[in-house]
Amino acid sequence: YQPIYSLKEKCVVSLEALVRLKDEKLGAIPPDEFIPLAEQNGTITQISEIVLEECCRFLAKHVLSNPSLGIRTIHVNIAAAQCLNRNLKESILPVLERYHVPTHMITLELTERTAIEAPKLMLWHMQEFGKIGMGFAMDDYGNGNSNCSYLIRFPFREIKIDKDMTWSYFENPTAKIVIENEIKTIQKLGLPLIMEGVEKKEQSDALEALGVDMIQGYYYGKPMPETECLRYIRRMHFAKEEYGKS
């Protein structure tokens, strides 16, 4: 789980579930390598089931019983193959019900590439999930074509600006102007905004000054196994309380 830090609330408010695969001989295999293969051979659906089940188990065990942790949602990535299934909701909802996880505690992350595979079906999924209180975040915003059209066509509840965009914001004056405008557009639409790939304090401070809501990046924490992640969240809470006292 990687923490998503709220610049306004000064604490971790969400987590993104990022799957890991370890092979006895090959060691750790990065998701950028095995997810595309799993998409090709169809095993992505089973991987997604395992990830969702793990997230619900984690929420039920550690978060529902402990609201003071302040975790409101877990973001789960969904793949194109899953969205082509008309019964997507029927495959997801029973898992949440089994663990008594409220629907608003899972946010589904979707890239443009996924959304555009079957736009009509995707819109229908988003409306159906919306009826039961489950939202979609647009992942990797800025990394594809014609991004603003996705804002117009699909009822996303949250936007995540891609890490390459974040990096070019700090390296390229032209990108800075364009991305600042994108940020303003998203803010005017009233959509919560997460910037990905923030690795330095100066970057976080600059984005805070622009009114960015949330940050996901190595500066606030790398993806961690669950025990380490829980320890990290508690430490952040403690630091916030201590800061408040001083």
> Residue numbers of the site for Ca ion (CB under 5 A)?
77, 109, 139-140
Q: In whole angstroms, what is the distance from residue 88 CA to residue 124 CA?
A: 11
Report, in Å, the least distance between residue 71 CB and ligand C2E: 18
Q: In whole angstroms, what is the distance from residue 205 CA to residue 178 CA?
A: 19
Buried b (16+ CB within 10 A) or exposed e, 147-161: beebbeebebbbbbb
Which range, of 14-22, 93-101, 169-177, 184-192, touches ligand C2E by CB under 6 A?
A: 14-22
> Would you say 143 or 185 has its CB closer to Ca ion?
143
The tokens for 20 are: 């890991």
Report, in Å, the least distance between residue 204 CB and ligand C2E: 11
> Would you say 34 or 99 has its CB closer to ligand C2E?
34
Q: In whole angstroms, what is the distance from residue 14 CA to residue 81 CA?
A: 25
The tokens for 58 are: 């984690």
Query: Contact, 107 vs 138, CB < 8 A?
Result: no
203: contact with ligand C2E by CB under 6 A: no
182: contact with ligand C2E by CB under 6 A: no
171: contact with ligand C2E by CB under 6 A: no
* Residue with the two structure tokens 């990096």: 167
| Subset of 212-241 contacting ligand C2E (CB under 6 A) | 216-218, 223
Report, in Å, the least distance between residue 64 CB and Ca ion: 23
